[in-house]
Amino acid sequence: MRALLILLAFWGAGAAAQQAADAVAPEQGAFERSAPTAPVEAEDWMIVTAHPLASRAGARVLREGGSAADAMVAAQLVLGLVEPQSSGLGGGAFLVWYDARSGALTTLDGRETAPQGVSPTLFQQGGAPMGFFEAVVGGRSVGVPGTPMLLAEAHARWGRLDWADLFTEAQDHAANGFEVSPRMAASIAANADTLDRFPATRDYFLPGGRALTAGERLSNPDYAETLALFATEGPAPFYTGEIARKITRAVQSAPGNPGTLGLLDMILYSVKERPAVCAPYRGHGVCGMGPPSSGALAVGQTLGALAAYDLAALGPDAPDARRLIGDASRLAFADRGRYVADPDFVPVPTEGMLDPAYLAERGKLLDEGRALETVAPGRPEFDHALLWADGLSPERASTSHISIVDGYGNALSMTTTIENAFGSRLMAAGFLLNNELTDFSFASHEDGLPIANAPAPGKRPRSSMAPTIVMKDGAPRLVLGSPGGSRIIPYVANAIVGHLDWSMDVQEVASMPHAVNRFGTYDLEAGTRAEALAGPLRDLGYEVELRDLNSGLHIIAIGETLTGGADPRREGLAIGD
Ligand code: GLY
């Protein structure tokens, strides 16, 4: 048995520059770590998650003959403890599953859902949008968590080991303690002012008024108790029982900014199977999560608009390659802002948006040789007469991604979140509650037109999460995804271009310095060789910003062997055998 670990240096950058590049967005806090240099190789199975303890829990399950779904459950339960700022039982997730036996792709929507008590003006005061953190912190932003039911649903469909066997590591770490990681400590320090507002959160992350530091041992008896209940009773206590009552009490009694989430909302929750959304690119099918996520649509639209351009000949350092990719992304974001929302509430022109003729037309707009001066939504074929106004959804980077291939040939890609770092900052039953409702548009109408992604009772907020499986000849070739708010979309699209057009291995892809464009400004990753693109991109007509860019790409390529890559900007680990 070989357990191969990875960690060290950046694409073309020295160690000092590397450490500078590892600083992350302010809301996450800065921390330093070394970075992986080469992909992990394995023959039978592989798992990549954002924390070594989560990867090891999943690896143990895979080694014992568990499926990718089993390993995901074990890993997610640990992530909720050791990377609590990013995902957990109080959040939601989207899962893409490739089934080796049937060859089918299934996508599961475990997205949080708005309570019955919300209205389209949920995030407005006096008719104007609230400030982002005013909306986030407290009960107003909390949707019904989907993750507990999603874990149970994945296990019921595809699990091979006993449910309770998947809890061993999480229960051990919760009861006996784990080491606070540098990234978790940095995130606590960066968010101490808001974590301090609620007693349960303060007592856990700021014991005695002092922020936890890296290397300290931390246990979570409340989480251990929740896990014991989950292991024996499944998800029912979260939706109809004791844990549901703890969640709704925390939301409704949040001082200053309570929410309406109640027991009826919890009871009404369900995980939804949705059709996978696939887009062709360079002879592959890029498949992922459809609405309410904009992930697969926007990744597919970005790639579709690039189909006619020879990015391989240009290479990653060519400003013109970055112009093409950046403007293809902007066009996709324009459509996303107008058309994408929960399909159970608004008709979404999914087929029209990925129609090859439509994307070829959008792609022709890139032929000008300079940055597009105007980027407007297109008119994809739409069997519904109503037009929407563009939404206003301020999204921030948090979230976590899990990629797994098991010994049976199944593949799983799951992006999991509580939205902002530490979500709503409210804690119940040992875990943080999400602030996913702030992924809705804060504005409800514009110029008399409704906004597709406005809040409504029972609706799911639009997401950017893009758990992806790239298929070729009916088999999975690449399993990937990333955190990063709405930058998830360009992170994932660039990673696919890096692998398919620029022949990068999965670790080069995960380490590639970022250059991303969503709404017009070209964001280049500070402290990396991407900075060299600043001058040429300005000459092409872009406004350029150098920033810390906080991805967490976790990728597995499936070929003769399995190769895994973990993003050097986080603490992730690929393990395979
Ligand atoms: N809250 C992150 C996302 O769903 O895109």
pLDDT bin (cut points 50, 70, 90) of residue 384 is low
Vertex 299: Cα angle to 294 and 301 (nearest 5): 95
More confident residue, 176 or 126: 176
Mean predicted confidence (pLDDT) in 241-261: 97
Smallest CA separation from ligand 1 atom 1, residue: 419
pLDDT on residue 357: 96
Residue in 399, 432, 434 to alter for ligand 1 test, most ligand atoms within 8 A of Cβ: 399
Q: Average the pLDDT over 268-287 and give the result.
A: 98
Query: Given the CA of residue 419, which atom of ligand 1 is nearest to it?
Result: 1
Separation between Cα atoms, residue 178 and residue 290, nearest integer Å: 36
Q: How far is the CA of 312 from the centre of ligand 1 (A)?
A: 31
**Predicted confidence (pLDDT) per residue in 197-212, tens digit:** 999 999 999 999 999 9
Q: For residues 247 and 239, give the distance between their C-alpha atoms in angstroms, rounded to a whole number.
A: 9
Q: Supply the pLDDT for residue 396.
A: 56
> pLDDT of 33-66, one tens digit each?
456 679 999 999 999 999 999 999 999 999 999 9
Structural domain boundaries of the chain?
Answer: 2-273+397-457+557-576
For the beta carbon of residue 475, count every other beta carbon within 10 angstroms: 12
Is pLDDT at 524 greater than 80 in this prediction?
yes
CA distance 129 to 139: 17
Q: What is the 267 CA–ligand 1 centroid distance (Å)?
A: 23
pLDDT digits (tens, 9 = 90+) for 508-521: 999 999 999 999 99
Closest Cα to atom 4, ligand 1: which residue?
463
Q: CA–CA separation, 256 vs 259, rounded Å?
A: 10
Please report, in angstroms and rounded to a whole number, the separation of the first and last CA atoms in the chain. Answer: 6
Best CA proximity match to 517, nearest among 339, 286, 333: 333
Residue to mutate (ligand 1; options 340, 398, 417, 422; most atoms within 8 A of CB): 417
CA–centroid distance, 328 to ligand 1, in Å, is 21
Please identify, by atom number, the ligand 1 atom nearest to the C-alpha of residue 295.
Answer: 5
Q: Are strands 105-110 and 272-274 parallel, antiparallel or unpaired?
A: antiparallel
The DSSP line for 293-336 is B-HHHHHHHHHHHHTTS-HHHH-TT-HHHHHHHHHHHHHHHHHH
Please give the Cα distance from 95 to 414 (Å, whole number): 4
pLDDT above 90 for 124 = yes
Q: How far is the CA of 417 from the centre of ligand 1 (A)?
A: 7
| Residue nearest ligand 1's atom 3 by CA | 463
CA distance 173 to 561: 32
**CA 402–ligand 1 middle distance (angstroms):** 15
Atom of ligand 1 nearest to the CA of 486: 5
Catalytic machinery residues: 399
Residues with CB under 6 A from ligand 1: 395, 399, 417, 419, 436, 439, 463-465, 485
Question: Residue 32 pLDDT more than 80?
Answer: no
The amino acid occupying position 223 is Y
